[in-house]
Every structure is written in C-alpha cells, then in structure tokens.
C-alpha cells in the first residue's frame, strides 16, 4: 500500500523551495511508482516552486537520469530541512524516514 499523508503534503508545501527559496511551493512527488492516475509515495516529496517542479517533470534540459538525480537530492534536502526545523510530529517524521529508507535515500540524510 502506498504511503499517504495529507498532513505531510501540506507541511512540505509550507516549506521554502529547496531550489530557490521561494515561498510559493508545491509538494513535488518522485516520478517513480506512478501510473494510471497513481502518485508515488507521499514520503518521496520535495518542496519546490512551480518553475522547478515543471522543469523536473516536463523539462527538456535534463535527461531522465539527471531529473531523477536532482529530484532525489531535493527530496533528501526537504527531509533534512524538516528535521532541522523540528516542528513536525515525531511519528510522522519516523514514517517519512521509513519511506526514504525503502528507496535507498535514507543513507543520504545523515
């Protein structure tokens, strides 16, 4: 079952963009594990402005591998910033951490 958390999506949307610092942010999902109207896990989110979100999702200036690498970096950076802020309940942080571990991104958060 895919991890879903409206609370986490709203929280990530409240953070500044990890690319440019903008406060007009979207919670951008990782483009893996999706299909036929399905979104990837809510544990694989990055706080991105709409411009960077569009560049990652539809941009032609990066290869698919480059887009994945950049988005994974943004996902990890979003998690790190949330950890540093310390204002998200610990149970939700633990669930988020587990989702990162499932796809091998947790090792990059240390």
pLDDT value of residue 36: 52
The predicted model scores a pTM of 0.91
Residue 32: pLDDT band (50, 70, 90) is low
Q: Where are the domains of the chain?
A: 6-108
pLDDT value of residue 106: 83
Burial of 46 (0-12, 13-18, 19+ CB in 10 A): buried
- What would the pLDDT profile of 33-51 be if each residue is shown by its tens digit? 555 566 689 999 999 999 9
Asked if pLDDT for residue 110 goes beyond 80, the answer is: no
pLDDT value of residue 40: 84
- What would the pLDDT profile of 61-107 be if each residue is shown by its tens digit? 999 899 999 999 999 999 999 999 999 999 999 999 999 999 999 87
CA angle, corner 63, sides to 98 and 103, nearest 5? 10
At 90, list the tokens: 């610990």
pLDDT value of residue 88: 96
């Amino acid at each position: 079952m895919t991890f879903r958390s409206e609370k986490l999506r709203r929280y990530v949307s409240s953070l500044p963009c990890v690319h440019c610092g903008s406060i007009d942010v979207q919670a951008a999902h990782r483009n893996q594990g999706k299909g036929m109207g399905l979104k990837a896990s809510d544990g694989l989110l990055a706080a991105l402005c709409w411009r960077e979100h569009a560049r990652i999702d539809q941009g032609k200036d990066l290869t698919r591998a480059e887009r994945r690498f950049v988005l994974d970096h943004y996902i990890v950076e979003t998690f790190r910033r949330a950890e540093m802020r310390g204002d998200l309940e610990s149970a939700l942080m633990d669930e988020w951490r587990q989702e990162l571990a499932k796809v091998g991104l947790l090792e990059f958060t240390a």
